[in-house]
Structure 1
């Protein structure tokens, strides 16, 4: 199967060079061919290595056993995201969906620490004692959560 991709990528690359050498080439065709060549290279790399290209650790290390990206967010924790916006809040449907998507990026630990810190107003030492984890773990979870959600500063 990899050989087929390699052969076809070679053909597409030759077509790409002929197309870019032509002065009157349609820009949308050039874009389409460039995209196809890039996608084929990506697939070949994936088939060759058995890992998704571009990920340093990929699924092998952390993502294989985590299912939090596929579960439905418990919107009871965020009632303001499931209600229509109040008079003093101007949250569009698109912003609401973006907020939910950003929250879904967090691991369960990051979400728990962030909620306890931002919603309940607890400090890292209080969170650590309640969750029975180290203060450094809480701090690193909060740091990662804030990196994933820019507005969580």
Structure 2
């Protein structure tokens, strides 16, 4: 009896995965990720490069930035307000969670979310 239940659960999981692969959407979701505008406009950047920018690392890592790349990132970050830049660098350069950033800066998590969202929009427009 336990074997039948296990096989039934496995079959259900496989059906769920197949539906996800066929439709490109997580089963049960009403709205697929392809309709979310943030993801359509997002410009990806290697997170190691962001961290290399913050740490100004000069070791032999492939994530290290050339002087030109460093200047390009610095120029893009100059359009941000002080608070946006602080939140953005803490989130993407130093990999803190939004909750941790809110605690460090003494602001609400929703404020951090807003600052980072605005910073991403400004940052992407410059790059």
TM-score bracket for the superposition, by shorter chain length:
0.3 to 0.5
Higher relative contact order (CA 8 A, sep 6+): 2
TM-score scaled by length of structure 1: 0.39
TM-score (norm 2): 0.46
